[in-house]
Amino acid sequence: MASAPANNLPIFYNDLLPLSTVDHADFKSRSVETAPFLTTQHAVPLTVDEFVNAQRFAPIIFSAGADSVPLLLMGLNEGVNIFVDDEGKLRGPAYVPAYVRRYPWMLAKLRPDSEELSLCFDPTSPAIGAFEEGNALFEDGKPSELTQGVLKFCEDFEQAAARTGQFVRELQELGLLMDGEVSIQTPIADQPFVYRGFRMINEEKLRDLRGDQLRKINQSGMLPLIHAHLFSLQLMREIFEAQIAQGKGPIAMPETPVPVEA
């Protein structure tokens, strides 16, 4: 079986194998109650299709660097995710990004010289294997209804990712992204905790857009997405307080970067 190189894989993925009617004819998919891979991931990639739903639960930020991507901030400090317990089970109401729901599946190129994408999976996941119980991935040598649904979900995700990339490029062309900073004053320290290392919309530049530029982003559907991002930033303090309540708050330097990678 051809295995994708272990390096340069997206977060959560330890390896990738193309799904095969020959090699995985008897494989099944089973439900898992926990996502241990999520317990120490504080920032998860998010598509623009999810902004409106996600902004009610956690801050939406953009990764630092030239190739920014939107991220759902599930914890302010690296290694902290307030929405899952130590086993990876959801703690209550939360938004689970499509990036997480897609795992252990994804569409990937098997050859660098080809644009064709193949349905692949992480063989280290406990959700897929030659189990006695579960839902079959193939029936009579053809993809089952489950597998067809997985493929459709992954295709939809890729299309949403393309829309997200275009959204970020337009933000950058308009000069609307800036280095972010959030200051949180608490009784546990004399100085405020300052979080940096991410990007956000520059509200001043947004207000100063020319009429034609504003009309363009309104007609393209960008404006509601921008507002969803800005509204979500109000949840920074709630995330911080939840960390403190869970005993996972910062214990040293008040000034703390928020290292975020896609």
Q: Note the pTM of the prediction, 2 decimals.
A: 0.89
Query: Residue 110: its pLDDT value, please?
Result: 82
What strands, in cross-sheet order, belong to the sheet with 105-109? 17-18, 117-121, 105-109
Domain presence at residue 85: yes
| pLDDT tier for residue 262 given thresholds of 50, 70 and 90 | very low
Beta bridge partners of 142: 139
Domain presence at residue 241: yes
Query: Residue 250: its pLDDT value, please?
Result: 72
Mean pLDDT of all residues in 224-251: 91
Long-range contacts of 185-194 (CB under 8 A, 24+ apart): 186/240, 186/244, 188/244, 188/249, 189/254, 191/254, 192/254, 193/240, 193/250, 193/254, 193/255, 193/256, 194/254, 194/255, 194/256
Query: Residue 255: its pLDDT value, please?
Result: 46
Arithmetic mean of pLDDT over the chain: 90
How many domains does the structure of the chain reveal? 1
Going through the chain in order, the beta strands assigned E by DSSP cover 17-18, 28-29, 43-45, 60-63, 70-73, 105-109, 117-121, 128-129, 135-136, 138-139, 142-143, 177-179, 182-184, 193-196, 198-201, 255-257
Domain presence at residue 217: yes
| pLDDT tier for residue 252 given thresholds of 50, 70 and 90 | very low
| Residue 147 domain boundaries | 17-257
Q: Tokens for 206?
A: 């947004």
CA dihedral defined by 249, 56, 33, 16, rounded to 10 degrees? -90
CB 26 within 8 A of CB 128: no
Would you tell me the crossing angle of helices 222-232 and 211-219 to the nearest 10 degrees? 90
Domain presence at residue 201: yes
Q: What are phi and psi of 198, to 5 degrees?
A: -145, 175
Mean pLDDT of all residues in 150-154: 98
Would you tell me the crossing angle of helices 222-232 and 145-173 to the nearest 10 degrees? 90
Domain presence at residue 39: yes
Domain presence at residue 243: yes
Pairing label, strands 193-196, 255-257: parallel
Domain presence at residue 141: yes
Query: Residue 7: its pLDDT value, please?
Result: 55
Domain presence at residue 8: no
